[in-house]
Structure 1
Amino acid sequence: MSSILPTFSPGAWLTPAVDWLNVHWHPLFAFISDVIQLVLNGLTALLMILPPWALILVSTALVLKLLGLRPAVITALTQGFCWGVGLWPEAIQTITLVTVAVVLSVAIAFPLGVLAARRPVLEAMLRPILDIMQTVPPWVYLIPAVILFSLGSVPAIIATIVYGIPPMLRLTTLAFKQIPHDLQELGQALGAPPRTVLLKIEIPAAMPTLLVGLNQCILLSLAMVVLAGLVGSGGLGAEVTRGLTRMEMGLGLRAGLAIVAVALLLDRLSKAALGGKEKARP
């Protein structure tokens, strides 16, 4: 017995649109894919020039000089763990993919968040879109990404960028809305241009909340990288997928702990670099 209620299938509307884009805009998507793949391959090759022990020593020394002792110890321990469990190339691929995805997510979300904090109409328009983006299961983003960009690292990074934008955008908006008006009025009273007020007053005042948004963006990007192993992204996500499909508990556990190590590394380094040495301490 057929239902008397009308049915609605979003796929019936979205699939023709995606197919049309894939047919008519294929050169653009191919260009984007080539650029992203070139950046990923270049960064990965750069990090793989040195042997693992040398890269660990160099990176630890740089972090010690620039950020302090605590971040340097975490850098040495997390990288040493990835090397010790035999997943060094996969960890480098994951670090590269997550770093590029987070940088692009922040580059998109931060200016939109600043504009949304200053324009309530834009914030009201973005709110339902962000609600949908955070409600949709993350692996759903992989479907159109694979259709448009084929299999590999490129659809993984595109889906990761889309998944990482909402928390950074929301918390950027919240951070700038919480800035005391006295600080903004002080900058204006001193005759500072808007750019100086933004860089010297507003961003430092909003930094604690911005760091929370960056932390959420990194963690969600890492979670997406694991799912992206299903579409051939490589890295630690592929090892987790391989451990699951082959029922190899040891491989899955090692890859999972390596992902935790990468998350800890990126989180502590980002906090130390943006929030100062004291804020990076637990």
Structure 2
Amino acid sequence: MDWLTTFPHLNDDFLRNLKKSIDEGFRMFTRAYGDSIESFFNPLQYFLIQSERFMTQTPWPIIMLLIGLLAWYGSRSLKIVFGSLAALFVIGMFDMWDDTMKTISMIFVCTVLAIVIGIPIGILMARSDRVQAVINPVLDVMQTMPSFVYLIPVVMLLGIGKVPGLIAVVIYAIPPMIRLTNLGIRLVDKDVLEAADSFGSSAWQKLKDVQMPLALPTIMAGINQTIMMALAMVVIASMIGVQGLGQPVLKAINNQYFTLGVFNGLAIVVIAIIFDRVSQAYGKRLQRHLEVVHG
């Protein structure tokens, strides 16, 4: 009955040599092309640095005003606006303002990058079943792969710093953006598309004037989920140099500082709630508006 307790496997020497050759190949690739890849991401690094500089160096009353205006524009709810401002005021009182602004700037850049990359891919998936069949397994891997694994190739290629952390966060957070863009466009009523065809609309006009506006509430849900997943990745990304609320949490874990970890963890939760409430309220307003327009 030995076959019940043993499992056939590759020869140990072969497996060891295979792993070694893959590792060596990746190291050679990073030595050969690491600098070129790093220079490719320089514009992204500049964008992130400027965003962080704006959030940390602008006087806090102006930042509070801007966030209040954005919360009002998104939600049209005084309760959400005052709740957001009160939460940020408490964060400032507990001396977590700079770290919070760094985290918000990181989430902002991640979200912009996810939208710029994710929406076109989602549109391609919606227009072609073949493309969807190819990309869906990739998204499955991205969503189920342990987040620590993303850090290994990124750090080997780009080292420690803001950009590697940003890339790792985007890889982890972008799948909902792609999936929900694809879903939103596919759910557009066929009768509406036929009506657009009868008016002689081109494929681009149908996408721009019909499919994207009708899919916008679903796309907003994708943006919401991307923000939530990016915030969940902040602490892990702090291991490779991403500044913000994640670093004090990591410090608290390493040194067993209970209050430091709890306070900064709660600050991350507060940011997540603000983003969630504002984006959800905006999505619902879009939905109501479209229902009125399309009767």
Change (3 A) 1:185 1:65: closer
Displacement after TM superposition at 1:254 (Å): 0.7
Of 203, 219, 222, the residue aligned with 1:213 is 222
Tell me the alpha carbon deviations over residues 96-150 of structure 1, each in whole angstroms, 9 at most, x when there is no partner.
1111112111211211111111211111111221111111101110111111111
RMSD over equivalenced CA pairs, Å: 2.5
Displacement after TM superposition at 1:248 (Å): 0.8
| Identical-residue share of aligned pairs (%) | 29
> Normalising by structure 2, what TM-score?
0.84
Displacement after TM superposition at 1:194 (Å): 2.5
Specify the code of the residue in structure 2 equivalent to 1:115: L
Q: Which residue of 2 aligns with 1:5?
A: 9
| Bigger Rg, structure 1 or 2 | 2
User: Where does structure 1 lack aligned partners over 5 or more consecutive residues?
Assistant: none
> Normalising by structure 1, what TM-score?
0.88
Q: Which residue of 1 aligns with 2:153?
A: 144
Whole-Å separation in 1 of the counterparts to 2:140 and 2:172: 12
Question: Alignment partner of 1:25: what SS?
Answer: helix
Tell me the alpha carbon deviations over residues 140-196 of structure 1, each in whole angstroms, 9 at most, x when there is no partner.
101111111111211110001111122221222222221111111111212223333
Displacement after TM superposition at 1:49 (Å): 2.9
Tell me the alpha carbon deviations over residues 14-72 of structure 1, each in whole angstroms, 9 at most, x when there is no partner.
53443233122123222134333221111111122332234213432464467533443
Q: How does 1:18-97 map to 2 (within 5 A)?
A: 18-61=26-69, 63-64=71-72, 68-70=76-78, 71-97=80-106
Whole-Å separation in 1 of the counterparts to 2:8 and 2:258: 49
Specify the code of the residue in structure 1 equivalent to 2:63: L
Does structure 2 conserve the Cα–Cα contact (< 8 Å) formed by 1:149 and 1:155? yes
Displacement after TM superposition at 1:277 (Å): 7.4
Whole-Å separation in 2 of the counterparts to 1:66 and 1:126: 32
Does structure 1 conserve the Cα–Cα contact (< 8 Å) formed by 2:154 and 2:164? yes
Q: How does 1:77-226 map to 2 (within 5 A)?
A: 77-226=86-235
Residue correspondences, number: 278
User: Where does structure 2 lack aligned partners over 5 or more consecutive residues?
Assistant: 1-5, 289-295
Of 234, 242, 255, the residue aligned with 1:233 is 242
Does structure 2 conserve the Cα–Cα contact (< 8 Å) formed by 1:36 and 1:154? yes
